[in-house]
Structures are given as C-alpha cells and as structure tokens.
Amino acid sequence: MYELIVLALGLPVVTALASLATRRRGLLKVMNAVSSLATCGLVFAIAAGVLRDGPFAWGWLYVDGLSVLLLVVVGLLTFTATLFSVSYMDTEADEGHIRPGLMGGYWALLQLFAFTMLAVLVVENLGLMWVGVEATTLASTLLVAFYFNRSALEAAWKYVMVCNVGILFALLGTILLYYAQLSAGGGGEALSRAALEALSGRLDPFLVKLAFVFILIGYGTKAGLAPMHTWLPDAHSQAPSPVSGLLSGALLSCALYVLIRNLGIVTAVLGSGFVQAALLLFGVLSVAVAVPFMLVQHDIKRLLAYSSVEHIGIVSFGLGVGTPLALYGAAFHILNHAVAKSALFYLAGIISQRYRTKHVMRIRGLLAAMPAVGTMFLVAVLAIVGTPPLNVFFSKFAIVAAAFAAGRPVLGALLLLLLAGVFAGMMYYTCRMVFGAAPGGLAPTPPGACALAAVGLSLAWVVGTGLYMPPVLDELLTRAAAQMFAATGGL
C-alpha cells in the first residue's frame, strides 16, 4: 500500500520533469498518456486495497474511504483530461492558438497539477493539507493563463489573487486550530487529525469556532461556494478545455474534501448544528446565485462554470442535511458531477474548435454538423441537469429526498425550484445549439479519436452507473459517506 501511494505520487512528478526535457510532440503525447493511465491504475489499486483492508495510515500518509473516493475522481479525470489533451491541444497548436514550443510546459504543469491534488488527498496532517491546496492553485494558475492572451491573463490574475487571499484565511484558521491544540495541552503531533480528534474534548470551543469561520471562508473560496465564487467563471472559461474539466471536476471536489476533513475536528468540539447550518446556507446560496447567470449566459464555457457553482452548492447542501442518505447522495454526486462536467467541458472544447466561437448564439445545428458530438453533448447536458436514468439524477434525488425526510421541506422545495430554473436555462441554450441547420464556414478538421474516446469513456460511466450500481462502487460510496457522517453529522 505504501509503495502504491509513493508510486502514484512519484509518477506524475517524474513525467513532468521528463516532459520538460523533450520537445518531440509525439513522444510527449505517448509518454503522458501512458503515465496518466498508470497513475489512474495505481489509484484504483489503492482504492481496492482500502476497500479490502480498511483505512491505511503510515507516518504522514493516511487513506480511507473518503480519500479513496476523491482519489478515484482525480485519477479518472487526470486520465480523461490527458487523453483529451492529446488531440485537442494538437489542434490548438496547429491553429496557432498556442506556440508549439510551449507544449512541454503544458504537459509538465498538467502532471504537477495532478500531483498536487493527489498529495492533498493522501496526507493526514491538516497543515500539510493546506500546503497541498495552495500548491494546486500555483500549479493551475499558469494552466489557466496558458493561452497568454488578454482574457486568459485577466482570468489567471483574478484566480491567483482571489484564491491566494482565500487560502491565506484558511492558513489563519489552521494556525488558530494549532493554537487551540497547544492551549489544550498539545498531546501528539502538531495539527495531526488523529491528535486533534483525541483532544477534542479539551479544545477551547471559542477558538475552534473562530478557526472554523476562517477555514470555511478559505477552503470555500477554493471550492467555489458563493459568494466567494467570483474567480471561478473566469478561470474555468479561459483555461484550455482539458484544464477546465480538471478544475471543475477534480479541484473543486478536492477543496471540499479538505473542508470536510477540517469539519471533523470542528463538529467534534462544537456539535453539528452550527456547521450544518453554515453548509446549508452556502449550499442554497451557491445554487441561487448561479441560476440567474445561467439564464442569461451567452458563453458556453461560462454557462458550464456557473453550473459547477450550482453543483458544488448541491454537494454542500447534502453535507448540511447530514443524514446518511444525504451523505451517500453527496458522495455519489461528487463523483457524478466530476465525470459529467469534465465531459461537458471537453465537448465544449471540441465544439468551439469547430465553430471557432464560444458564443452560444452563434452555435447552431450541432447534430447536423457533428452527429456524434451533438448526441454526446445532448446526453451530457441531460445528465448534468439531472434527467433520469442518468447517474446525476440519482445523486440529486437522494440529496433532495433526504432533505425532505430530515424535516427540512422548505429548503428542499427551494432547492427543487432553483434546480428547475437551472434546467430551463441549460435546456434552452442546449436546444438552440443542438438542433437546426448547421451554418456554413465551419472548421474542416474533425475531432480527434483520442478526444472522442475521452468523452465516450466519461459518458459510458455516466450512463452505466445510472442504469446499474456495481456492488464495489456502492461499497466505496458507503464508506465515503460513513467518513462524511463522522465529520459532519457529529458524534
């Protein structure tokens, strides 16, 4: 197990260094695709090990059901993003949007980005987790800016400023937690989760509450919870499409994971009431803030970005409801949203390459122009808005049903109403884009086989787990939900 984790962390770093060393585009593509596939395989092996033997702890490393769920998300998305990049970034370079000489840098940053996310998920110490989250911002900033045109630079600047300030708040919260640990007698290792949990009876509740506020704001910024989401639409829409997929599916979930880990300490000291109220508030607010922007949005990638704010809000809402069913739904939703949304960003990338625009009103007749891509886009949008029998429906349904069952009918009804608004906005624009006659003057290049494979793989997952829940996935989600229950549901 130890070897597997070290390998999964080491492989992306080695690949990143190797990517900087060569300039041959063919070699870069093969090397990175193989490496990401291997990382994905290692992550699945770690998941299998945890499901078989239970949580694994060794020194600074710690992996349990919840980390494994997120590891699977990151591993899977890194693989699909790499596979998609293989043909997508080639086309971008051929069309002159990117200097071919920068491709090595792109691959290196992509691998380092994956490394930082994996590192966040396998460390036990809250301080080291902070270091990892900050590193994810730094690794992804230059990826967001990668086109180095005016809009990309603007997006990257806002991203790095907002997220750095946010993450410094989280550092303040972490320092306060450490102060609370020392004040309580400070047994065990500094900021170790196990040590803090063992001490939880003696931690000063006021200090912990103060720390919680800063931690929630800090990691909430990184997770894209409203009203700290302002960086998100810019960064997600200006990054290259594979990176948008990773940012939206993997990075937001990782930030949420760190938040949940910190909440474990907070609820042990303060009880669950305060924490759950805060999560419910931020959850509903995120969905509510996203809806009006989605109704009037004319940039396809910004539309998807606001949808990410909405979905993170739904997950936060599920965590706030806090019953086992809601948490199972939240765990399932993290996975479903990651796969479906990344597929949508990839498709948006293919579409904007073909139509040479991201403007929704100028994209028409997708089905006529590109039957396969059009069909996949339609399926992916139907999935993300929560249409049965696709898997996102089931996770959303579980969360909303749990809200009603837990005696929160008003909030549940409000969420349903907002989701109806999201459905209207997304479907209106999607129907405009998908149906009708194709305009002339489209780029002649067909989408690459690797790009289609990446999207196809994601959609197969979306459709497949909607129709049939494999026992091993059910087991994984149950374990993750149990960890979340311990963290947010109180004792």
Partner 1 sequence: MEILAVLLLISAFLLTRTTRLATAVHILLAQSAVVAAACAVAGWQAGEMHMFAAALLTVVVKAGLIPYALLRLVRLLKREREVNPVVGPNGSSLAAVAAMVLSYGLIERALPAVVSRDAVATAVALVLIGLFLIITRRQAIMQIVGLITVENGLYLLGLSTTRGLPLIIELGIFFDVLVMVTVMVILTFRLKRSFQTTDTSILKRLKG
Beta carbon nearer to partner 1, 17 or 161: 161
Give the pair of three-digit tokens for residue 91. Answer: 């086309």
Beta carbon nearer to partner 1, 79 or 345: 345
Beta carbon nearer to partner 1, 149 or 445: 149
Could you say which DSSP state residue 439 is in? P
Beta carbon nearer to partner 1, 6 or 460: 6
Beta carbon nearer to partner 1, 236 or 479: 236
**Nearest CA among 68, 70, 72 for reference residue 52:** 68
Taking CA 456 as the corner, what is the angle to CA 141 and CA 137, rounded to the nearest 5 degrees? 10
Backbone angles phi, psi at 58, to 5 degrees: -155, 110
- Show Cβ contacts of residue 80 under 8 Å, excluding neighbours closer than 6 positions: 245, 342, 343, 346, 454, 455, 457, 458
Length of the chain: 491
**Nearest CA among 117, 42, 36, 15 for reference residue 83:** 36
Beta carbon nearer to partner 1, 220 or 329: 220
Beta carbon nearer to partner 1, 308 or 458: 308
Half-sphere exposure (CA, 13 Å, Cβ side) for 379?
23
Shortest distance, position 253 Cβ to partner 1, whole Å: 21
Beta carbon nearer to partner 1, 160 or 481: 160
Beta carbon nearer to partner 1, 230 or 375: 230
Shortest distance, position 145 Cβ to partner 1, whole Å: 6
DSSP-based three-state secondary structure for 442: coil
d(CA 305, CA 151): 16
Beta carbon nearer to partner 1, 83 or 300: 300
Backbone angles phi, psi at 57, to 5 degrees: -135, 130
Shortest distance, position 127 Cβ to partner 1, whole Å: 4
Shortest distance, position 108 Cβ to partner 1, whole Å: 14
C-beta atoms surrounding 206 within 10 Å: 11
Applying CB under 8 A, which residues contact partner 1?
Answer: 125, 127-128, 130-131, 134-135, 138, 141-142, 145, 148-151, 153-158, 160-161, 164-165, 168, 171-172, 175, 178-179, 182-183, 189-191, 206-207, 210, 233-234, 237-238, 293, 296-297, 302
Shortest distance, position 176 Cβ to partner 1, whole Å: 8
**Nearest CA among 489, 491, 436, 17 for reference residue 260:** 489
Beta carbon nearer to partner 1, 294 or 351: 294
Shortest distance, position 105 Cβ to partner 1, whole Å: 11
Taking CA 420 as the corner, what is the angle to CA 417 and CA 423, rounded to the nearest 5 degrees? 160
Amino acid 80 reads T
Beta carbon nearer to partner 1, 233 or 313: 233
Using CA atoms of 23, 27, 31, 32 in order, give the dihedral in degrees to the nearest 10: 60
Burial class (CB in 10 A: 0-12, 13-18, 19+), 130: buried
Shortest distance, position 141 Cβ to partner 1, whole Å: 5
- Show Cβ contacts of residue 440 under 8 Å, excluding neighbours closer than 6 positions: none
Shortest distance, position 24 Cβ to partner 1, whole Å: 25
Give the pair of three-digit tokens for residue 197. Answer: 């949990």
Shortest distance, position 272 Cβ to partner 1, whole Å: 24
Shortest distance, position 420 Cβ to partner 1, whole Å: 22
d(CA 310, CA 426): 12
Shortest distance, position 98 Cβ to partner 1, whole Å: 14
Half-sphere exposure (CA, 13 Å, Cβ side) for 44?
12
Taking CA 410 as the corner, what is the angle to CA 409 and CA 415, rounded to the nearest 5 degrees? 95
DSSP-based three-state secondary structure for 364: coil
Beta carbon nearer to partner 1, 120 or 434: 120
Which stretches of 56-198 are assigned E, i.e. beta strand? 56-58, 61-63
Helix axes 324-355, 471-488, angle to 10 degrees: 110
Shortest distance, position 10 Cβ to partner 1, whole Å: 17
| Alpha carbon separation from 454 to 10, 76, 151, 177 (Å, rounded) | 24, 10, 27, 42
Shortest distance, position 359 Cβ to partner 1, whole Å: 13
